[in-house]
Amino acid sequence: MSEQASPDARHRRLRRRLRQRRGLPLESGERRPRRFNLPQNRFLTAFDRPLMAIVLLLLIIGSLMVFSATFDWSRETYGTASGFFVEEHLRNIAWAVWWMLMVALVDYRFWKRFAIWLLLFTVVALVAVLFIGEEVFGARRSFSAGRFQPGELAEFAIVLYLAAWLGSKRTQVASLFFGLAPFLMVVGVVGFLIIQQPDLSSAAIVVLTAGAMYFVAGANIFHLAAIAVLSSSVGLVLLQVLPYAQRRVDNFLAGLSDVTLAEYHTLQAITAFLRGGWFGVGVGQSQQKFGALPAPHTDSIFAVIGEEMGVLGAAVVVALFICFAIRGFQLARRAKDDFGTLLCVGVTSWVIIQALLNIAVMTGAVPSTGVPLPFISFGGSSLTVVMIGVGLMLSVQRVASRRVPISERRNELANSDRGGRHRRSYLPRAGDSPDIAARGG
């Protein structure tokens, strides 16, 4: 009996599995197997995991390097090697992450209505810093002991405003009077106020980021060429007006022929990379950070990475920024509207331009400028605004991946499909073929 029952039992189990796989109901008398569902954290699954992983790795590397670059300074100032790191940098990271999460949980389209007000506040702050800002090395760039720099806020404000403005212009972006002229006026005013501090690096970041967004929005190629010529002309004029800028360019050109004639900052950074070699001297073992490198925890932190982690460690950081760029543009393609697309493009371009400028300065590829390395350099306001930008990108991904009712999807399709007569919305009907829907009727 047991030999005959075992094949029958196996046949019943096989039949039950086949019916379950095909979506058929179970036969009478069969019991449905109990399923054990593991609890899922819906809070974390709502965010884009690849982007969060990239940002987390950059923050971890930055925290380690800031600690390595400041433990001696912290011991002399606070009496403990971790005092500066724990009380300042970790607090900045916690504050920035909190803002990122708050922004990511809100629909990114909510912030569109505040774009113009943020830009106006930024312009007022840029004007105010010229009169009542703190003067450091002949420049007025910050308030509150360097904790708030309007130039860094301007980089984010221009991204949010241009995403809202260019996203609403549609075909008028390529227009001379409705596209190019207002674009030049907005970017020109913000850039001019930043130059007055003076802060050429932040002004360059604003112009390059705005140009990338203008290109993606559908700008006329001749208008882009005109912007490039105008920006180059302004740069040449600034070299003649600002003596420190001309001096940096002269030192850069001299360093191309003889590295020993390069600017002091660049020369010390190159020395750090030479000491590090391929594998580095070890975390915490850098010698250049003890007085040779200016601002080793902010502008020069990539040189500290190169000395302590070597070329391979620096390559890992560069690879993470490349991954950030790829993921950012992928999220831009998945956005549900032009505003979301331009937000992702703007934030991604802004972060990558900053990283490229910082790395290029440390490797002697461009003249010396004061640009922090995103997510890695020490700084409260710079880290906060960048993490808010990441929060907006996470919000764009959340909205794009959210399931919506069919009626809402039909309305969104109607708003985006304006291929019919007189640019009116065309709402595909149930009986329409895909070809007819694509032609707009």
- Span 233-247, pLDDT tens digits: 888 887 777 777 777
For residue 439, the model assigns a pLDDT of: 40
Which tens digits make up the pLDDT trace of 348-375? Answer: 999 999 999 999 988 888 887 778 899 9
> Is the pLDDT at 288 greater than 70, yes or no?
yes
Q: What is the mean pLDDT of residues 178-206?
A: 88
> Which of 241, 269, 303 corresponds to the end of one domain?
241
Q: How confident is residue 22, by pLDDT bands cut at 50, 70 and 90? A: low
For residue 266, the model assigns a pLDDT of: 81
Same-domain check for residues 54 and 129: no
Q: How confident is residue 179, by pLDDT bands cut at 50, 70 and 90? A: confident
Cα 161–164–169 angle (5° rounding)? 120
pTM, full prediction: 0.80
Distance CA 341, CA 129 (A): 33
Average pLDDT, the chain: 80
Distance CA 441, CA 434 (A): 10
Same-domain check for residues 193 and 309: no
Q: How confident is residue 180, by pLDDT bands cut at 50, 70 and 90? A: confident
Q: How confident is residue 426, by pLDDT bands cut at 50, 70 and 90? A: very low
Same-domain check for residues 127 and 163: yes
Same-domain check for residues 219 and 294: no
For residue 37, the model assigns a pLDDT of: 45
Q: How confident is residue 43, by pLDDT bands cut at 50, 70 and 90? A: low
For residue 234, the model assigns a pLDDT of: 84
Which tens digits make up the pLDDT trace of 123-167? Answer: 999 999 888 877 776 677 777 666 778 888 999 999 999 999 998
Distance CA 374, CA 370 (A): 13
Same-domain check for residues 233 and 175: yes
> Which of 398, 415, 430 corresponds to the end of one domain?
398
For residue 368, the model assigns a pLDDT of: 78
Number of H helices, E strands in the chain: 17, 2
Are 67 and 90 in contact by the 8 Å Cβ rule? The answer is no
Q: How confident is residue 327, by pLDDT bands cut at 50, 70 and 90? A: very high
Which of 72-86, 157-171, 185-199, 266-280 is least confident?
72-86
Are 124 and 178 in contact by the 8 Å Cβ rule? The answer is no
Which of 59-68, 339-348, 359-368 is least confident?
359-368
For residue 31, the model assigns a pLDDT of: 52
> Is the pLDDT at 440 greater than 50, yes or no?
no
Distance CA 141, CA 153 (A): 11
Q: What is the mean pLDDT of residues 7-19?
A: 67
Same-domain check for residues 326 and 294: yes
**Domain containing residue 143:** 111-241
Closest CA to 218 of 181, 158, 173: 173
The structure tokens listed for 179 are: 């596209």
> Which of 216, 241, 266 corresponds to the end of one domain?
241
> Is the pLDDT at 10 greater than 80, yes or no?
no
Q: Is residue 36 part of a domain?
A: no
For residue 332, the model assigns a pLDDT of: 94
Are 151 and 350 in contact by the 8 Å Cβ rule? The answer is no
| Total of domains in the chain | 2
Residue, of 60 and 136, whose pLDDT is higher:
60
The amino acid at 364: G
Q: Is residue 412 part of a domain?
A: no
The structure tokens listed for 299 are: 């502008």
Q: Is residue 133 part of a domain?
A: yes
Q: How confident is residue 389, by pLDDT bands cut at 50, 70 and 90? A: very high
Same-domain check for residues 82 and 214: no
Distance CA 10, CA 18 (A): 12
For residue 312, the model assigns a pLDDT of: 94
Are 306 and 314 in contact by the 8 Å Cβ rule? The answer is yes
Distance CA 299, CA 371 (A): 6
Q: Is residue 6 part of a domain?
A: no
Are 341 and 335 in contact by the 8 Å Cβ rule? The answer is yes
Same-domain check for residues 387 and 280: yes
> Is the pLDDT at 330 greater than 50, yes or no?
yes
Residue, of 70 and 138, whose pLDDT is higher:
70
Distance CA 362, CA 358 (A): 6
Q: Is residue 414 part of a domain?
A: no
> Is the pLDDT at 42 greater than 60, yes or no?
no
Distance CA 89, CA 52 (A): 19
Are 358 and 202 in contact by the 8 Å Cβ rule? The answer is no
Q: What is the mean pLDDT of residues 95-124?
A: 93
Distance CA 185, CA 191 (A): 10
Q: Is residue 131 part of a domain?
A: yes
For residue 105, the model assigns a pLDDT of: 92
Same-domain check for residues 93 and 119: no
Written as one string, the DSSP assignment of 59-101 is HHHHHHHHHHHHHHHHHHHHSSTTHHIIIIIHHHHHHHHHHHH
Q: Is residue 11 part of a domain?
A: no
Q: Is residue 31 part of a domain?
A: no
Q: How confident is residue 415, by pLDDT bands cut at 50, 70 and 90? A: very low
Same-domain check for residues 220 and 131: yes
**Residue 434, preceding bond cis, omega within 30 degrees?**
no
Distance CA 107, CA 102 (A): 10
Distance CA 123, CA 131 (A): 13
For residue 70, the model assigns a pLDDT of: 84
DSSP letter at 262 equals S
Same-domain check for residues 208 and 129: yes
Same-domain check for residues 129 and 147: yes
